[in-house]
Amino acid sequence: MAGELDDIEAQVDCPRCGRVLSVSYRDIRLLKAASCACGALVRLQDDTPLSIVQKLIDEANPPQGDNDV
């Protein structure tokens, strides 16, 4: 299961210019920061409960007989 969620992307607002950055879960997990084109370094904190992440996955890919594990 390690790395299974790494393709999921989250959006974060740059506090300096307001641009919306797309950051992969892998970057949130490993790098803990994202840089914006304006030069700002945005510290990333993953405080989303796993149950919320699972709910979003289920909404995007509803469990069915052949993919319900």
* pLDDT of amino acid 37: 95
* pLDDT of amino acid 69: 57
- Residue extents of the structural domains in the chain: 9-60
- State the amino acid at position 23 in one-letter form: V
* pLDDT of amino acid 22: 92
Cα-flanking dihedrals φ and ψ of residue 17, to 5°? Answer: -110, -10
The model's pTM is 0.59
Radius of gyration of the chain (CA): 14
Q: Could you report the per-residue pLDDT of 1-56, keeping only the tens digit for each?
A: 456 677 788 888 999 999 999 998 888 888 888 999 999 999 887 677 778 877 87
Q: Which two tokens stand for residue 46?
A: 């993953």
Q: Is 66's pLDDT higher than 90?
A: no
